[in-house]
């Protein structure tokens, strides 16, 4: 059956697409409104909704995040549906979290399904207390939570079977979705579910010993693989509600600009247009929204608008001037993060002076931003791929003039995000709600899906900040660093956000300096400048480590080269006995790559880098060459220490994806630049992203561990670029100081 939104495509393309209609979304009953605080001190209003009709009686002493009824639904045929408290946008969490719960539940994996949650308080991060998919925290923070959810559900099923058979629960065992009793009695989970979920939820449960795991640690195919590989997976942008309309927005060319005049006569004449609305946008800007019965009429009408913009009151950023300003700032005293005696610099036998420049980067996910809003003036339901549905729900309520408990967010799968869907301002959500409210005021009552084009997405701001690093290092012939003076200049990501009070200390944004110094025992003075610039900035996959890892690992490598030391041996010596996880990851990568034992083809060189981010360590050993003046990455071997591996296939995929994204930072054209306040890039024709032809051969190896898992969504990215750069420096004798790498 063709999707009802198929008519929105140009007629010549309509025959190429056929999607199944979206499954209906169950309406969930409301419960009480809660106020919860996050570590930053910012109060987020989170409101719970009963997640399933099987919800068991609430247990005293248990929080909503600990109640199985919000997470586990068992059908009469034994199918187990597990709700995931995160956004699935490619990281595999929609399989890994169900694996954890299903293992403790002793479920039959062939009967396990998964679905995404809502802004129900049950789906908040159990440690942060707010809804969050970010910081590579999903497995790390929910590992014990999902184990306990599975164990509680299993205990209730066993108790239900014991009551049915009038036996002691201690005499029963479970296996593959069945409770087994004395004399060979058997009862499937589907038979017991209704009675089990009516029982009190146990507060205390005994978890399995890792030796008893059946699913955790096993390479497991993703539950969403079939849908995604066949084109049947529905994403937020695919939302199609009955009577739905589509909106696009004409945005100002300079961030924060406002409208001077609007001539919308031609736009209103386009067939299918329902409304043309002047709407407020992010950061005090204004825009014009076109609401129509499909994307193409809306976009056609947008192109017919005649708009004049007032840019007189906003800063017009120019990348070249900005770099010059950053260089001047780097010469001035800044806020101190680390402090050490710099006197040895004057007498050090060897010195390095280096400047590094990193551009703005767009997130550029394959699915551009979108948000569907169904607003009737009294309540609203939103559908989108949100990394922070609780915060987005609160922002939507404020924009619509509703109470938080009157807004429901249905989290949809997202086609990437890399941080762009976790934004404290909820810019694209507030924008969509503003359009829905204005449309209702204009007499248009329908669900409205606001869609950003690729050009909107790339030109729309909230980039990885531009950074400048400047380092002066003094060291001796043995590679002993005597003094390291370092300055970072770049916008703060969290200043002005709800996270400022918890993440900005002494004038230094913690995200800008993460990855500096450690694990190396360096006498470093690190000062920081955070200029205010009229360019919206945000975290970008691996955040500060996108630039700090490159700086640290290329400079450490240069010291090794200039003192005639092997880069691996030099790092291991620096780690000493204080960093066993770094040592293990690096040694594993070295062993599996053949480094130091295998002769490379002529014209190739090894490159090494190791970096910790989000409590996981990734080491890369790469092989690279220069061909026709262009750098080429041939092979990557990864050593990974992320403690216990839940799904080896997920870890492998995340390291592969992170490495490719890290390689993308190196490619000429991978930069966002501005001239007279206008972003110069607009699509993949002038903003370079890595393609399949850029992918090197890559192998991923993990260090065995039974310790609690750490994050893997981001740590595979930071060490790739410096490992590549270090190989090229060994070939050319010239260290690389800028990203992306300069073209020949």
Instruction: Please write down the HEC assignment for all residues of 462-521.
Output: CEECCEEEEEEEEECCCCCEEEEEEEEEECCCCCCCCCHHHHEECCEEHHHHCCCCCCCC
pLDDT for 33: 24
Six token digits for residue 137: 């925290």
- Over range 591-601, report the average pLDDT: 96
333 pLDDT more than 50: yes
- Over range 587-593, report the average pLDDT: 98
Are β-strands 173-175 and 380-384 bridged in parallel, bridged antiparallel, or unpaired? Answer: unpaired
pLDDT for 13: 33
- Count other C-beta atoms under 10 Å from residue 13's C-beta: 10
139 pLDDT more than 80: yes
Residues 720 and 620 sit within 8 Å (Cβ to Cβ): yes
Tens of pLDDT, residue by residue over 173-206, are 999 999 999 999 999 999 999 999 999 999 999 9
pLDDT for 31: 28
Q: Write the CA distances from 47 to 51, 120, 126, 362, 392, integer angstroms.
A: 12, 6, 15, 33, 12
- Count other C-beta atoms under 10 Å from residue 352's C-beta: 17
Tens of pLDDT, residue by residue over 545-557, are 999 999 999 999 9
**Cα Rg of the chain (Å, integer):** 27
Residue 129, phi-psi category: left (phi > 0), alpha (psi -120 to 50), beta (remainder): left
20 pLDDT more than 70: no
18 pLDDT more than 50: no
Q: Is 335 exposed, middle or buried (0-12, 13-18, 19+ CB in 10 A)?
A: middle
pLDDT for 6: 40
Output the average pLDDT for the chain.
92
| Letter string b/e over residues 527-551, b meaning 16 or more CB atoms within 10 A of that residue's CB | bbbbeebbbbbbbbbbbbbbbbbbb
pLDDT for 37: 29
Tens of pLDDT, residue by residue over 27-69, are 223 222 222 222 222 222 222 333 333 445 556 689 999 999 9
- Over range 504-525, report the average pLDDT: 97
Q: For residue 55, what is the DSSP state? A: P
- Over range 534-562, report the average pLDDT: 98
pTM for this predicted structure? 0.92
Which contiguous run of DSSP H or E holds residue 720? Answer: helix 720-732
- Over range 732-736, report the average pLDDT: 96
- Over range 155-173, report the average pLDDT: 98
pLDDT for 61: 81
Residue 199 C-alpha from the chain's centroid = 38
- Over range 514-534, report the average pLDDT: 97
372 pLDDT more than 70: yes
pLDDT for 29: 30
pLDDT for 743: 78
pLDDT for 58: 59
Structural domains of the chain, with CATH: 34-230 (3.30.365.10), 236-313+369-451 (3.30.365.10), 333-361+462-732 (3.30.365.10)
- Over range 486-499, report the average pLDDT: 95
Which contiguous run of DSSP H or E holds residue 551? Answer: helix 545-562
Which residues fall within 8 angstroms of residue 686, CB to CB, at 6 or more apart? 669, 680
């Amino acid at each position: 059956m063709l999707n009802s939104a198929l008519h929105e495509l140009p007629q010549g393309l309509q025959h190429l697409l056929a999607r199944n209609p979206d499954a209906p979304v169950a309406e969930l009953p409301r419960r009480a409104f809660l106020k919860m605080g996050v570590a930053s001190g910012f109060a987020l209003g989170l409101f719970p909704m009963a997640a399933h009709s099987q919800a068991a009686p609430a247990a005293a002493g248990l929080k909503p995040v600990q109640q199985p009824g919000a997470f586990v639904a068992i059908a009469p045929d034994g199918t187990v549906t597990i709700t995931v408290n995160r956004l699935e946008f490619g990281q595999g969490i929609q399989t890994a979290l169900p694996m954890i719960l299903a293992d403790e539940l002793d479920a039959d994996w062939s009967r396990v399904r998964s679905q995404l949650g809502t802004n129900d308080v049950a789906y908040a991060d159990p440690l942060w207390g707010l809804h969050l998919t970010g910081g590579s925290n999903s497995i790390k923070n929910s590992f014990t939570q999902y184990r306990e959810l599975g164990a509680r559900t299993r205990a209730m099923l066993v108790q239900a079977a014991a009551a049915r058979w009038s036996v002691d629960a201690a005499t029963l065992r479970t296996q593959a979705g069945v409770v087994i009793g004395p004399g060979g009695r058997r009862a499937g989970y589907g038979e017991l579910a209704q009675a089990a979920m009516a029982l009190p939820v146990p507060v205390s449960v005994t978890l399995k010993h890792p030796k008893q795991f059946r699913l955790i640690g096993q390479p497991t195919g993703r539950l969403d693989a079939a849908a995604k590989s066949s084109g049947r997976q529905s994403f937020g942008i695919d939302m199609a509600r009955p009577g739905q309309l589509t909106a696009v927005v004409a945005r100002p060319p300079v961030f924060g600009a406002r409208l001077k005049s609007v001539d919308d006569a031609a736009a209103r004449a386009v067939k299918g247009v329902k409304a043309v609305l002047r709407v407020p946008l992010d950061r005090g800007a204004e825009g014009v929204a076109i609401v129509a019965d499909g994307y193409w009429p809306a976009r056609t009408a947008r192109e017919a608008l005649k708009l004049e913009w007032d840019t007189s009151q906003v800063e017009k950023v120019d990348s070249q001037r900005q770099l010059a300003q950053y260089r001047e700032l780097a010469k001035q005293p800044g806020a101190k993060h680390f402090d050490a005696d710099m006197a040895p610099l004057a007498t050090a036998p060897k010195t390095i002076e280096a400047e590094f420049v990193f551009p703005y980067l767009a997130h550029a996910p394959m699915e551009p931003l979108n948000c569907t809003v169904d607003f009737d003036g009294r309540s609203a339901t939103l559908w989108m791929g949100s990394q922070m549905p609780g915060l987005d729900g609160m922002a939507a309520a404020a924009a619509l003039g509703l109470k938080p408990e009157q807004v429901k967010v249905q989290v949809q799968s997202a086609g990437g995000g890399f941080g762009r869907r976790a934004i404290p301002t909820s810019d694209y959500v507030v924008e969509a709600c503003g359009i829905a409210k204005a449309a209702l005021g204009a007499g248009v009552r329908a669900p409205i899906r606001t869609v950003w084009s690729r050009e909107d997405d790339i030109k729309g701001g909230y980039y990885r900040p531009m950074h400048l690093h400047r380092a002066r290092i003094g060291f001796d012939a043995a590679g002993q660093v005597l003094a390291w003076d370092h300055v970072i200049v770049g916008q703060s990501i969290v200043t002005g956000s709800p996270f400022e009070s918890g993440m900005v200390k002494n004038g230094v944004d913690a995200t800008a300096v993460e990855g500096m110094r450690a694990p190396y025992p360096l006498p470093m003075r690190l000062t920081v400048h955070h200029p205010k610039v009229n360019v919206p900035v945000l975290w970008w996959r691996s955040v500060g480590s996108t630039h700090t890892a490159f700086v640290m690992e290329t400079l450490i490598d240069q010291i090794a080269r200039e003192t005639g030391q092997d880069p691996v041996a030099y790092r291991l010596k620096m780690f000493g006995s204080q960093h066993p996880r770094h040592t293990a990851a690096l040694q594993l990568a070295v062993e599996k790559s053949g480094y130091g034992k295998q002769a490379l083809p002529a014209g190739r060189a090894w490159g090494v880098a190791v970096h910790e981010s989000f409590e996981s360590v990734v080491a890369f050993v790469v092989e690279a060459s220069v061909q026709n003046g262009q750098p080429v990455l041939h092979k990557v071997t990864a050593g990974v220490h992320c403690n216990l591996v839940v799904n080896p296939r997920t870890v492998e995929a995340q390291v592969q994806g992170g490495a490719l994204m890290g390689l993308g930072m190196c490619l000429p054209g991978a930069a966002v630049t501005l001239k007279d306040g206008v972003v110069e890039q607009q699509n993949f024709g002038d903003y370079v992203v890595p393609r399949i032809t850029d992918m090197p051969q890559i192998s991923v190896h993990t260090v065995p561990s039974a310790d609690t898992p750490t994050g893997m969504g981001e740590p595979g990215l930071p060490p790739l670029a410096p490992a590549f750069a270090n190989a090229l420096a060994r070939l050319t004798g010239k260290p690389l100081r800028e990203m992306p790498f300069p073209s020949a």
